[in-house]
C-alpha cells in the first residue's frame, strides 16, 4: 500500500510541476511572484482562473498524501 501511495505521490509531483510551468508569467518583480496582492481580497476563489484552481486542488491532494504517507510509516 505504501508503495502504491508513493508512486501516486511521484505522479502528483510531476503533475504539479507541469501545471505550474503552464501558468502565464505575471509582471512586477516580487509582487508578481506573490500574486501582487490581487488574490488577497474577498472573493479570491472567483479571481482564480481554471489553471490556478487545478493547481490548488493538486497541491492539496499532494499535501494530504504526504501526511498520510508519514502517518503510515510510523
Q: How far apart are CA 1 and CA 18, in angstroms?
A: 26
What would the DSSP string read from start to end of the chain?
A: -HHHHHHHHHHHHHHHHHHHHHSPP-SSTHHHHTGGGGGGSTTHHHHS-HHHHHHHHHHHHHHHHHHHHHHHH-
pLDDT in tens, 3-57: 999 999 999 999 999 998 888 776 555 555 555 555 555 556 566 788 888 999 9
The model's pTM is 0.70
* Sign of CA pseudo-dihedral 11, 13, 17, 22: positive
Domain boundaries of the chain, sorted by first residue: 47-74
Per-residue model confidence (pLDDT) at position 52: 86
Amino acid at each position: 500500500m505504501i508503495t502504491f501511495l508513493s508512486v501516486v505521490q511521484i505522479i502528483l509531483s510531476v503533475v504539479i510541476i507541469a501545471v505550474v510551468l503552464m501558468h502565464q508569467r505575471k509582471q512586477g518583480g516580487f509582487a508578481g511572484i506573490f500574486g501582487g496582492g490581487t488574490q488577497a481580497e474577498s472573493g479570491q476563489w472567483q479571481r482564480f482562473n481554471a489553471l490556478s484552481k487545478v493547481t490548488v486542488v493538486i497541491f492539496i491532494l499532494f499535501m494530504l498524501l504526504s501526511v498520510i504517507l508519514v502517518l503510515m510509516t510510523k
